[in-house]
Structure 1
């Protein structure tokens, strides 16, 4: 399942907007990235997608379920009503084509509308097609209680990993529909991921060999003993497939991180191996914890909702992530889109970012720039350096504006042949800027050439 397009009418700061999402005929990737200044409307688009998709989730759960509604504050200032329309394609449901006749690309169009209180308006919600699509998934679950479902998840800026809870407050079930629990909740903090992992690992250990038991045998008898080899084989065969998918996703996505697990000694905690060193997850940086929880949560939901797939990470779905670069080191930002696409190849991603590194290192990504309620597609970013993206896409200076003005003045003096003024400006900047500054190094060569010509 994929989102084909989203249309807004008088929502947020958008009077009228229609946006196509990747993949498109000209962009083969499954990733759309929105960039723009704060307040440009990036989050409005993600929340509008989440609002529309909440109706599909609600009606998969129950036939007459209700999703999220537009609020008065969502309606554009000065307008009396707001409308969100979404078109979704689902190639596996050609017989349910929402457009009427059969076609190669079935689609389902529905809309959410709201008028201001005390105002008369002709707009109204259209939910027939979302009900038809949801009914198909309920029929599949009726026929097979392990039938696959599409992942639908929204991760807002407010996501955080403030704690790693190990005391389970509520028992979680492992049914497909539970993969939708809090999936569009704007305040998700990944508590459920860690609680789920603990509970699932307890079940795994009850039916198999625990890490603690295997470690004790290794300590007493060694890893070459027949007992250790036998227990290792039993442990491998008893591994929980859903936990295996989560651990695999984290290892693939975060090189050097392996074997996420719960340890009972010396006290109960969650541990992970980082480059061969075992660490308490609480010791990781905020960026590492956030990335581990994000990837783990996506993998967990896919594993729950695709129990019959050989590799549940290949399940399909729609994932919305606001400020995907949040707390991430530049090295991780640069590989982020590639890793998302490789780890979850059949998921469609809609991301927002302020990082030039995120959008310049992956091919065929569909990038939109938002500015003052307008939206423009921006192509040809692959391979650009961060400075070019800052200047050309994000309309941001690559360095301090005052320093840039003085560097420009210095270059102008050199080009005009004013050697004395150039050398004076160069001396001033050299005393303030760090040694090895690349622009000063370039200018030093130009000044030397000017001196040689004068000689």
Structure 2
């Protein structure tokens, strides 16, 4: 499943906003904007609309998140959100014609409409989900026919995300492994502390240890240990199979994915002595997880939570993160990240979850400057404008080259440069002319570059 188009009418500060991703070949969409420009509103309302898929998949009578009065534009009497997604060709066509051919680029559309509460009457929320219910039914039938078929992941991580504690006590809570519905959130999220991830991690960690201990006991059993090679081969085959299957596949996926997104991170594990605590290997050293900086704790938990969802939605897959598909929204993905991580985080997320569609917001444009495969939009005056960073990079490169030439000329002896005054002035005029074509962010980058190369 991939988001193709969404239309907001009278939602928050957007009277009429259309977002078209149908022509984008990139699985990573970045929305840039200043504070209070509406980035959070866009991502939050996309998640609210997509939650109707999660709710209907659980039960066709279950409702998703509705439009609240507080999310309606000024004093408007109604608001609506219309969304269009594409789905895999294996699901065929949603048309009524029973003989319709499978649609390679199949589309499904649904809409939420809300009228405001007023003294004259109570407002109504009216979802139009006929096509969505057909799509959900197709997914349910296909997952029964093909256990390896991937159910789409829908996840939203608000900007208010933090890890104050890593609770691994496992206080006899309900299992987090039984149903794929644990992978979905059906309520509006204003913040997250990743408690579901830590509960899930403790459960799969205990199951892995129990299964490993059982196999080790079988291996050390004297009645089986000294028998023929056939029995030994059978035992080792069982060890290998157990290592590849659940819950081992969950922890294996977590280890590899975490290292892929954050190369400085190693294995996440639980230490039982001298006391129970969560540990992690950081730059080759084993340290308590809670001793990491808040930024690192958040990103380890966020990646881990995506792994949790992928494992729940793909219970038969040996490589759930590589095969999981769906739509993931991260608000202010660059929050608390240093420059090195901002330059690489999008590429690493795509590499770790190659079939996921990411829709993220960011404050700093440098998060996409070194990634030409990202679809980038600027949110300005309640409208989205697509940015072509390849063109901007060419402009900046021309200016940088002009500055370097000017600096080299100034560094020559006075008599050597006297006859070349005109070219230097011409170069400066070109620089000023090009600088006038840049936006505010690009001018700031140019100023930083001038400071570096100017003595």
TM surpasses 0.5? yes
State the Cα distance separating 1:321 from its structure 2 match: 0.4
Deviations 1:277-317 (A, max 9, x none): 11110111111111111111111111121122231112111
Q: Which residue of 2 aligns with 1:298?
A: 306
State the Cα distance separating 1:364 from its structure 2 match: 2.5
Q: Which residue of 1 aligns with 2:328?
A: 319
Structure 2 vs 1, CA of residues 335 and 364 (structure 1 numbering), >3 Å: closer, same or farther? Answer: same
- Do residues 207 (structure 1) and 216 (structure 2) align? no
1:238 alignment partner, SS class: helix
Structure 2 vs 1, CA of residues 145 and 394 (structure 1 numbering), >3 Å: closer, same or farther? Answer: farther
User: For the residues of structure 2 that align with 1:44 and 1:181, how far apart are their CA atoms?
Assistant: 20
User: For the residues of structure 2 that align with 1:269 and 1:122, how far apart are their CA atoms?
Assistant: 49
State the Cα distance separating 1:252 from its structure 2 match: 1.2
User: For the residues of structure 2 that align with 1:357 and 1:441, how far apart are their CA atoms?
Assistant: 17
Alignment of 1:301-380 (within 5 A): 301-314=309-322, 315-380=324-389
1:294 alignment partner, SS class: helix
Q: Which residue of 2 aligns with 1:16?
A: 16
Q: Which residue of 1 aligns with 2:417?
A: none
State the Cα distance separating 1:69 from its structure 2 match: 0.5
CA contact (8 A) 1:148 1:176 kept: no
Q: Which runs of 5+ in 1 are unaligned?
A: 214-230, 405-436, 445-455
Deviations 1:109-163 (A, max 9, x none): 0001101113789994311111111122233455567753111100011121111
1:173 to 173, 176, 179: 176
State the Cα distance separating 1:188 from its structure 2 match: 2.3
Alignment of 1:33-432 (within 5 A): 33-97=30-94, 102=101, 103-118=103-118, 124-142=126-144, 148-169=150-171, 170-182=173-185, 186=189, 187-209=191-213, 238-239=242-243, 240-314=248-322, 315-381=324-390, 384=393, 392=438, 395=441, 398=444
Give the alignment's TM-score, normalised by structure 1. 0.77
Structure 2 vs 1, CA of residues 61 and 291 (structure 1 numbering), >3 Å: closer, same or farther? Answer: same
Deviations 1:385-414 (A, max 9, x none): 89999x956658639xxxx8xxxxxxxxxx
User: For the residues of structure 2 that align with 1:158 and 1:88, how far apart are their CA atoms?
Assistant: 27
1:337 alignment partner, SS class: helix
Deviations 1:14-33 (A, max 9, x none): 11111112xx44x4220111
CA contact (8 A) 1:179 1:302 kept: no
2:358 alignment partner, SS class: strand
> What RMSD in Å do the two structures reach over aligned CA positions?
3.4
Structure 2 vs 1, CA of residues 98 and 72 (structure 1 numbering), >3 Å: closer, same or farther? Answer: farther
Number of residue pairs matched by the alignment: 388
Give the alignment's TM-score, normalised by structure 2. 0.77
CA contact (8 A) 2:259 2:266 kept: yes
State the Cα distance separating 1:243 from its structure 2 match: 1.4
User: For the residues of structure 2 that align with 1:367 and 1:234, how far apart are their CA atoms?
Assistant: 48
CA contact (8 A) 1:151 1:179 kept: no
Q: Which residue of 2 aligns with 1:449?
A: none
Structure 2 vs 1, CA of residues 359 and 393 (structure 1 numbering), >3 Å: closer, same or farther? Answer: farther
User: For the residues of structure 2 that align with 1:232 and 1:122, how far apart are their CA atoms?
Assistant: 62
Moved more, 357-366 or 170-179: 170-179
Structure 2 vs 1, CA of residues 272 and 442 (structure 1 numbering), >3 Å: closer, same or farther? Answer: closer
2:389 alignment partner, SS class: coil
User: For the residues of structure 2 that align with 1:329 and 1:235, how far apart are their CA atoms?
Assistant: 42
User: For the residues of structure 2 that align with 1:35 and 1:340, how far apart are their CA atoms?
Assistant: 18
State the Cα distance separating 1:383 from its structure 2 match: 8.6
State the Cα distance separating 1:235 from its structure 2 match: 6.7
Q: Which runs of 5+ in 2 are unaligned?
A: 218-234, 401-434
CA contact (8 A) 2:65 2:187 kept: no
Structure 2 vs 1, CA of residues 58 and 443 (structure 1 numbering), >3 Å: closer, same or farther? Answer: closer
CA contact (8 A) 2:94 2:134 kept: no
